[in-house]
Amino acid sequence: MRKYILLFLIVYSSLEFFSQKDLSRILNARALHKTGYDFRILGPTPFLSISINHYLNHNINLESGLGLVGAYGGIHYYFGKKDKKNLIVPYTGLNLGYMTLPDIEVGIGGNSGGWGKFMTFYIPVGVQLMTIKGFHLSVEGAVFASTGYNSKVIPWGSIKIGQNF
């Protein structure tokens, strides 16, 4: 009987020692659910877009998306600690994008000009709710800047909803 108990203790201790990190102690959902997708209204590409994201750690997130009129990629910083739940956290970031919009010149006869091509900068400041199962909802305000012959800087925003796995 002692041999079995000793064998059990050796096997259990070696499994415990060489096993992966205990994820049950990590409370921050951003550290558990690293990769996901979301749908966005407004944002770096006006109207609608879909994006994928990946958390390098619980604070730094990379995002890449495709919208109706363009594409974008960026990095975000989420505030909070790995050992706290942090269901609701503020964040900020920078997205760089490229858009193609119709350049409509309304005149006599309804002439339409060429297509406008713009590089965009989107700087959000927002709040994200992420549940422990990876569902997330974000609301953000932003500065949206476009370059090109018609450069503009305007206040903007976004609502996004998605799931991380």
**What confidence tier does 150 reach under pLDDT thresholds 50, 70, 90?**
confident
How much of the chain exceeds pLDDT 70, in percent? 76
Is the model more confident about 68 or about 13? 68
Q: Tokens in use for 6?
A: 């000793």
The pTM for the full model equals: 0.77
How many independent structural domains does the chain possess?
Answer: 1
Q: Is the sign of the CA dihedral 77, 160, 32, 97 positive or negative? A: negative
Q: Distance between CA 61 and CA 138 in Å, rounded?
A: 14
Backbone angles phi, psi at 84, to 5 degrees: -115, 155
Q: What is the CATH number of the domain that holds 78?
A: 2.40.160.20
Q: What is the structure's pLDDT at 10?
A: 67
Report which DSSP code applies to 6: H
Residue-number span of the structural domain to which 123 is assigned: 2-164
